[in-house]
Structure 1
Amino acid sequence: MESSDQAKRRGRHETEEERADRRWSDLLQELRVAQTGVQLLFGFLLTMVFQPRFTTLSETDQNIYLTTVMLGAAATGALIGPVSFHRLLAGRRLKPQTVVWASRLTMTGLVLLLFTMASALLLILRVVLHNDVAVWLVVGMVLWFVLCWFILPLWTRARHASEMEAPSN
């Protein structure tokens, strides 16, 4: 009978360190996409307060803006965090632990990015539409992001979990 550790590595014959290196490389590719997006969004958000129209926003819209900026800053911190984590632990033979923590920071960053996107959309749509339709459009987009970013990957993982655990012939 195959141990669970062997089952996890059945598709690849790699050591724990090799697996950590591969997972780190994969994570870096994912982070490049997420970091670029969050940095562009955050940069845009930072410039909004200096626009002449900002002072004409309602108190509610200014509060939404402040919430959006804070969420964007938190998302940026979480998505850039893995780089610092790796740099501070490099050479200490902690790559598997680094990958685990970097993955957690990345997921946290994606959730924060979801809230940042929702908040930014709410602000923009409130300013453009001047009505409650904005809230419903944001809800629809949040559901779309949740579907694309979380539900489809988790559904696929669950659907194929039995294939990953079944012995290969």
Structure 2
Amino acid sequence: MTTPEPTPPGDELPDQTINRNWTELVQELRAIQVGVQVLIGFLLALPYTDRFDRLDHVEKAAYLVVLTIAVAATGAVLAPIAYHRILFRRGLRPWLVEKANRIARAGLVLAALSMCGVVFLSFDLAAGTAAGVVASLLAFFGYALLWLVVPMRARPPTGSR
């Protein structure tokens, strides 16, 4: 299911719309790229801490799942840049914008899940497994509310097309 392209502002030509959409997407990805890369750095450092050896099997498994999801998130949010480098000047900008938008959305979901996993690990270590589960569920529902529910409820202003 693809989202219909909004009416271009003013007298913008289709190529201008595609270029504007690409520019907006790249600007949006810059913020999440830094976040997931910092998260990966944090996660990669954990096994080298003294406390890591004291984790039980469930905590170590959760760590590996969260690390895997964070690596996948990083791959997804960096993929549009790789696509652009590979397809540069091949006249495939519309394809690039469509596919990059899809993979960026997947990257956002993976980033949210990895952050929920980090919340679980942090609360689990600080306050116990039950606190970890509750905190990660609250984080999950917070992301769902802010990243899905709020934008899905947006309505165009009265009098607009």
Higher-RCO chain (CA-CA 8 Å, sequence separation at least 6): 1
| Counterpart Cα distance in 2 of 1:109 and 1:57 | 28
Name the SS for the 2:20 alignment partner.
helix
Of 46, 51, 73, which aligns to 1:48?
Answer: 46
Matching residue of 1:8: 7
Report deviation, 1:135.
1.1
Sequence identity percentage: 30
Name the SS for the 1:8 alignment partner.
coil
Instruction: Give the 3 Å change call, closer, same or farther, for CA 130–30 of structure 1 in structure 2.
Output: same
Report deviation, 1:150.
1.7
Report deviation, 1:133.
2.4
Mean Cα displacement is larger for which, 144-153 or 93-102? 144-153
Of 68, 71, 74, which aligns to 1:70?
Answer: 68
Report deviation, 1:163.
5.7
Please give the per-residue CA displacement for 1:95-143, whole angstroms capped at 9, x wherever unaligned.
1110111111110000001110111111111000024122112111111
Report deviation, 1:162.
8.0
- Residue ranges of structure 2 left out of the alignment (5+ in a row): none
Q: Answer yes or no: is 1:121 the counterpart of 2:119.
A: yes
Superposition TM-score, scaled by structure 1 size: 0.87
- Residue ranges of structure 1 left out of the alignment (5+ in a row): none
Mean Cα displacement is larger for which, 64-73 or 122-131? 122-131
Mean Cα displacement is larger for which, 26-35 or 137-146? 137-146
Instruction: Give the 3 Å change call, closer, same or farther, for CA 96–162 of structure 1 in structure 2.
Output: farther
Matching residue of 1:160: 156
Matching residue of 2:128: 130
| Counterpart Cα distance in 1 of 2:157 and 2:81 | 30
Please give the per-residue CA displacement for 1:136-168, whole angstroms capped at 9, x wherever unaligned.
121111111111112111211xx229865x3xx
| Counterpart Cα distance in 2 of 1:97 and 1:147 | 30
Superposition TM-score, scaled by structure 2 size: 0.91
Say whether the 8 Å CA contact 1:16–1:96 is kept in structure 2.
Answer: no
| Counterpart Cα distance in 2 of 1:73 and 1:131 | 24
Q: Which runs of structure 2 are paired with 1:76-91 in the superposition (5 Å)?
A: 76-91=74-89
RMSD: 1.9
